[in-house]
Amino acid sequence: MSSDPVGLTNLDFLPRYREILEANLPEGFTEFAQFFSGPQRLATLAAMLAAHAQGPRRRRVLNVGSGPFATEIFVAALQDQDILALDYTPEFAPFHSLLAQEGRLATTSFRQADILTADFDGPPFDLVILHDILYEPALDLEAVVTKLAPVIAPGGLLYIDFVNARTRWLWRALGKSDRFRRYDPRRVRRFMQEGGFDIIDWRPTHHAGSRAVQTFHRTLWALFRASNNYAFLARAKGGER
Ligand SMILES: C[S@@+](CC[C@H](N)C(=O)[O-])C[C@H]1O[C@@H](n2cnc3c(N)ncnc32)[C@H](O)[C@@H]1O
């Protein structure tokens, strides 16, 4: 019987995936092999999509900041969807053809581009994913959502995760490095609602990092109902899909 966590798939491919990353990441990027081949970091996204976006209909998906395509391969709800993966880092681009040679990514096309300047044509997307990208100081959640909203179909879904501005004090108090862009969860909720989205799922996330880091995050949640990261799924108003 499979013991895959909810919403994850193809975990038997993980050792090979890691091997491909290790063999092909250039110098300076090798630490990413371990990072991207840890499937727990995809658990919240996978569970949310399993709950709200699983089904026979083929969806047109935009994955912004796709990295070396772990999302496309290991998230069950994304299997066989019509995916446009976009990332601006040239070092990750070769993995599209390397993984295609392994029989993966058959329905995923790739564009090397910066989301801040990319244009989109063609039909709107049924699902847009911003997984583990909005921590980037150069990206502003509100500006990115404002840019992407017109290319999301009515009733389409938008997945976002972000780092909590309200736990910044704790990070500083603990002397931890805090180079991430953070957002106030209340402001994010208000912005999404006023911007034409209904939030249909909202969760604290504790899945990334080592076991010790995960335990720390769970304790923070248990004691203070505070999370350093949140993930949510929002539906564009205007239709059920
Ligand atoms: C931590 S990785 C996450 C990759 C993937 N979403 C995942 O979770 O496996 C962040 C990715 O966002 C990409 N990224 C950051 N800013 C970007 C931008 N402005 N346009 C396109 N990609 C960007 C980086 O190149 C990197 O691959």
- Protein residue with least CA distance to atom 23, ligand 1: 65
Cβ–ligand 1 contact at 65 (below 6 Å): yes
- Protein residue with least CA distance to atom 4, ligand 1: 67
Cβ–ligand 1 contact at 67 (below 6 Å): yes
pLDDT at position 207 = 62
- Phi, psi at 135, each rounded to 5°: -70, -15
pLDDT at position 215 = 76
| Superfamily, domain 11-236 | Vaccinia Virus protein VP39 (3.40.50.150)
- Per-residue confidence of the chain (241 residues) as pLDDT tens digits? 455 778 999 999 999 999 999 999 999 999 999 999 999 999 999 999 999 998 878 999 999 999 999 999 999 999 999 999 999 999 999 999 999 999 999 999 999 999 999 999 999 999 999 999 999 999 999 999 999 999 999 999 999 999 999 887 777 777 777 789 999 999 999 999 999 999 999 999 876 666 776 777 777 777 767 788 999 999 999 865 5
Cβ–ligand 1 contact at 116 (below 6 Å): yes
Ordered by start, the domain boundaries in the chain are 11-236
What are the helix and strand counts (H, E) for the chain? 9, 8
Distance from residue 105's CA to the centre of ligand 1 (Å): 18
- Phi, psi at 17, each rounded to 5°: -60, -45
| Alpha-carbon radius of gyration of the chain | 17
Residues 6+ apart with CB under 8 A from 14: 37, 39, 74
Q: Which atom of ligand 1 is nearest to the CA of 89?
A: 25
- Protein residue with least CA distance to atom 11, ligand 1: 65
**Strands, E, within 29-176: which ranges?**
60-64, 82-87, 108-112, 125-130, 152-164
pLDDT at position 16 = 98
0.85 exceeded by pTM: yes
User: What is the rounded CA–CA span in Å between residue 204 and residue 134?
Assistant: 15
